Amino acid sequence: MTTKKILVVDNEEYIQEVTKICLQTTANWQVITASSGTEAIQKAETEKPDAILLDVMMPDMDGITTFKYLQQNSKTHQIPVILLTAKVQNTDRTRYRDLGIKAAIAKPFSPLTLAQEISQVLDWKD
């Protein structure tokens, strides 16, 4: 399997680090990080990740707004987005799916199974 490139977007630096370490360790994926929606859009354009893990609640530009900008951009609209969020109700999952978001993974997540959850959602095979 080719190495996947994942963009992790979260304004909390420790969440970026934990996510990066667990995806590199458990799946040997390349992980790029961004601390804001604006930075995420720019890095998505230049880095062309295979997927984006996006926090919902961020200052300045929240995850949903960031997702909408990514969808409007011809360079980034094909990149699958999975939300990492502390708030995941069934109604939220339905709303996210209706927007075109692939899935929502609840924080706190399990570092040992995160790569497996992402692979399953995106139908990536070993």
CATH number at residue 59: 3.40.50.2300
Residue 121 lies in a domain: no
The sheet that has 5-9: what strands, in order across it? 30-34, 5-9, 51-55, 81-85, 103-106
What is the domain range of residue 16? 12-115
Give the separation between CA 125 and CA 82, rounded to whole angstroms.
17
Q: Tell me whether residue 4 is in a domain.
A: no
Q: How confident is the model at residue 126 (pLDDT cuts 50, 70, 90)?
A: low
Number of structural domains the chain divides into:
1
The pTM of the full predicted model, rounded to 2 decimals, is 0.94
- 18 pLDDT above the threshold of 90: yes
- Mean pLDDT rounded to a whole number for the chain: 93
Does the residue 123 lie in any domain? Answer: no
